[in-house]
Structure 1
Amino acid sequence: MMKNKKAFAVLSSVALVSSVFLAACGGGEQSGSAENGEGAVKAQTIKVANYFATDHPQNVALNEKFKPLVEEGSKGTLKVEIYDNSKLGAEQEFYDGVRNGTIEMGIPGMIMQADVEKMAVPEWPFLFKDYDHVEKVLNGPIGEEITADLESKHGVTPLAWSANGFRMFSSNKTLSSIDDFKGLRVRMPSIPNYIRQGELLGANVTPMPISEVFTALEQKVVDGQDNPIATVRASGWYEVQSDILESNHMFSPNIYIINSKFFNGLTPEQQQVIRDAAAESAKYEFELMKKSYADDKKFLEDNGVKFTTPDDKFKADMENAMKPLYDDIFAKYPWAKDMYDKIKAEAK
């Protein structure tokens, strides 16, 4: 009996030493965790929602830059799942999902501008000269000022500005002068700033989500819509539109946002990985958008779409039509005129 007890004690000691050795070598790490230098960190998934087609530059950048940079940079503690093409709902729906935390991240447009007033600024009409002007403004102090209230009002943290692009009107007839807008049934996003611009041009505006646009154009519920031509191509609207007016009447940015509660629950290292990946992905997306215009235009022309470049009078007429909108904005917001002047000055 004593002999058996001694044998058991020896085996127990060996087992204890072995377990300590394995733990020291990392053998005790639990499945689904990874080391961050301070202990095991539970792996988490970041769902990223947007409304763009799969092959749009937004999703190309997300798949080629954001996803690998986050997953590799976090050493497996963060996994990225991309839900494109409104798979998690239309813009307002997935934006609300990010706000309430059912979706971790999203890339909306300026859907929040109704009650975060400064978020409307980048979509003021005829504000930006070109892409370089946009990037200079949004990636500097003005961009930070624009997003300053986003976290306190909506509970989302801004990460990076990306580009939807300069908006143009596609239609089923040629637009040669401002008079051609009269009676034109145009789909626009359900955002007051957009709707007012369309109405000031003389169009009959029908607000609707982007996911419904193809069917509305195909069934002739509307005659046209406004979006960058990358979206026209990626969404297949060229199949149901004959013309594009190179109006460049508005620049539409998008913004990488993340639920603040989720983000604040991550380690500082994970937060920095996400910030860096968002910045790199957004920068890449800007480059793709700038380079894609010529290819997109050729593709659309090859598919029967006619492009019209407005002459100086037509462009001046469109800009002058926006004056009442600016008058209202400047009267309503004490900060607006100064913001406008600062942005215009950055183009010089």
Structure 2
Amino acid sequence: MKKWSMILAIVFMITTILAACGSKSDQASGNKDSKGSEGSKDQSFTIKVANYYAIDHPQNVALKEKFKPLVEEKSGGTLKVEIYENNKLGGEKEFYTGVRNGTIEMGIPGMIMQADVPKMGVIERPFLVKDFKHAKAVLDGPIGKEMTDELAEVHGVHTLAWTANGFRMVSSNREVASMDDFKGLRLRMPNTPVFVELGKALGANVSPMPLSEVFTAMEQKVVDAQDNPIGVVKSSGFYEVQTHILESRHGFTPNVLIVNQAFWNKLSDNQKKAVEEAAKEYADYEWKLSEENYESDKKFLAEKGMKFVTPNEKFLNEMEKSVQPMYESYYKEYPWAKEMVEKIKQQGN
């Protein structure tokens, strides 16, 4: 009897030990699965995207139709996008500062940062870029990368994509059809050295000011003319206070979609991939819209009564000649610039 009691006791002990080990194993496995699930779950964020364009501008159309839905879909709903167009979060300087400081997650400025990162301004040198195809090839290639390489270090922003603003022209309240017509013309330019210098080289009296102030300045006749691609003339309603457009195409201006670097670092690899893929599709779409819209914008503005002046070869050559001293001083100030400019020119050949 004692023998059987001892055997039963041993069997019970072994069963108890095996059950305990199994329980611990299941618990450990459960904890591992729980931790793995928790580790793979992306944190949710809302992304504010600020810009200075009107709601029907190609930038905001592309943001609404491509960037926002794609980011939200590709991130599995963990990222939400809010678009703040038309200076709702401040003018270019204000919202760019917001992105740098992290109070705004993303923005679409022009080349406002070129005072601190000079290479960002090379693409806007006068009469340098031929057409949209040329501009996109330059900006989406090694030159575009070289231009943005210092942005994260200097301003704490990460570049996602280059997009198009367009070829700059002069809209005015009177005809500008010769170099003489620039004399005495009170011309609004962006408050960027290259544009201020360009306006003066053409012979105009330059008044630097942000885009948000331009309509009122023209309406009150503080300025006679302003410089922008015609898409901005249309979307900002400048045709209400202007009568002529000189198709000078004196410079190309891009935009750049940027994100605060600290915010970018918070995103998971999956979320970063979602944003990057959405940014590419948005950018390609925006380039397409900007190029295609030129003729339709021109037709729209002509129907609103604006008269287009296409410069003849003589006038065009005179404008190009007037800005050549800008290149000479540019190369003296930035020794790297000449090689970069030549690379851009070669890519257009």
Q: In structure 1, what is the Cα distance between the partners aligned to 2:319 and 2:39?
A: 59
Structure 2's unaligned 5+ residue stretches are 1-26
- SS state at 1:42 partner: coil
Q: In structure 2, what is the Cα distance between the partners aligned to 1:197 and 1:262?
A: 37
Please tell me the residue identity of whatever aligns with 2:223. Answer: V
Does 1:162 pair with 2:163? yes
1:94-129 CA-partner distances (Å, limit 9, x unpaired): 000000000000000000000100001111100111
Q: Which residue of structure 2 lines up, in the alignment, with residue 193 of structure 1?
A: 194
Q: Which residue of structure 2 lines up, in the alignment, with residue 16 of structure 1?
A: none
Q: Which residue of structure 1 lines up, in the alignment, with residue 332 of structure 2?
A: 331
Q: Which residue of structure 2 lines up, in the alignment, with residue 238 of structure 1?
A: 239
Q: Which residue of structure 2 lines up, in the alignment, with residue 275 of structure 1?
A: 276
Please tell me the residue identity of whatever aligns with 1:205. Answer: V
Q: Which residue of structure 1 lines up, in the alignment, with residue 68 of structure 2?
A: 67
Q: Which residue of structure 1 lines up, in the alignment, with residue 344 of structure 2?
A: 343
Does 1:205 pair with 2:228? no
- SS state at 1:132 partner: helix
Please tell me the residue identity of whatever aligns with 2:309. Answer: T
Please tell me the residue identity of whatever aligns with 1:230. Answer: G
Q: CA deviation at 1:318?
A: 0.6
Superposition pairs of residues 230-309 of structure 1, within 5 angstroms:
230-309=231-310
Q: In structure 2, what is the Cα distance between the partners aligned to 1:162 and 1:89?
A: 21
Q: Which residue of structure 2 lines up, in the alignment, with residue 124 of structure 1?
A: 125
TM-score (norm 1): 0.89
- SS state at 1:54 partner: coil
- SS state at 2:128 partner: coil
Deviates more, 1:82-91 or 1:39-48: 39-48
Q: In structure 2, what is the Cα distance between the partners aligned to 1:74 and 1:64?
A: 16
TM-score (norm 2): 0.89
Q: 1:102 to 1:320 in 2, by over 3 A?
A: same
Bigger helix fraction: 2
1:235-270 CA-partner distances (Å, limit 9, x unpaired): 000010000000000000000000000001110111
Q: Which residue of structure 2 lines up, in the alignment, with residue 146 of structure 1?
A: 147
Q: Which residue of structure 1 lines up, in the alignment, with residue 79 of structure 2?
A: 78
- SS state at 1:113 partner: helix
Q: Which residue of structure 1 lines up, in the alignment, with residue 20 of structure 2?
A: none
1:283-323 CA-partner distances (Å, limit 9, x unpaired): 10000011101111111001100000000010011111111
Please tell me the residue identity of whatever aligns with 1:235. Answer: S
Does 1:172 pair with 2:173? yes
Does 1:135 pair with 2:136? yes
- SS state at 2:42 partner: strand
Q: Give the number of equivalent residue pairs.
A: 318
* 4+ aligned runs moved over 2 Å, structure 1: 35-42
Q: Which residue of structure 1 lines up, in the alignment, with residue 12 of structure 2?
A: none
Does 1:104 pair with 2:108? no
Structure 1's unaligned 5+ residue stretches are 1-19, 29-34
Q: Which residue of structure 2 lines up, in the alignment, with residue 49 of structure 1?
A: 50
Q: 1:37 to 1:318 in 2, by over 3 A?
A: farther
Q: Which residue of structure 2 lines up, in the alignment, with residue 88 of structure 1?
A: 89
Q: In structure 2, what is the Cα distance between the partners aligned to 1:161 and 1:276?
A: 13
Please tell me the residue identity of whatever aligns with 1:296. Answer: D
Superposition pairs of residues 4-19 of structure 1, within 5 angstroms:
none
Identical residues among aligned pairs (%):
59
Report the RMSD for the aligned CA atoms in angstroms. 1.6
Q: CA deviation at 1:39?
A: 3.4
1:134-188 CA-partner distances (Å, limit 9, x unpaired): 0111000011011111111000001100000000000011111111101100111
Q: In structure 2, what is the Cα distance between the partners aligned to 1:39 and 1:347?
A: 46
Superposition pairs of residues 21-36 of structure 1, within 5 angstroms:
none
Q: In structure 1, what is the Cα distance between the partners aligned to 2:320 and 2:37?
A: 54
